[in-house]
Amino acid sequence: MDLDLTGRHALVCGASEGIGRAAAHELALLGADVTLLAR
């Protein structure tokens, strides 16, 4: 992806493994502040 998410916030549910974890990692690399939710 070619997005600049600096200054944006993302809430990722199911972030302990699988696609949730990968999505959270990618969002962080793109500059978003990420909040993770897991069991």
Q: Say whether 33 sits in a helix, a strand or coil.
A: strand
Report CA torsion sign: 21, 27, 30, 31: negative
How far CA 21 is from CA of 7, 12, in Å, comes to: 20, 8
Per residue in 1-39, pLDDT tens? 578 999 999 999 999 999 999 999 999 999 999 999 998
Give the start-to-end residue ranges of the domains of the chain: 1-39
Amino acid (1-letter code) at residue 9: H
pLDDT given at position 1: 57
Global pTM? 0.85
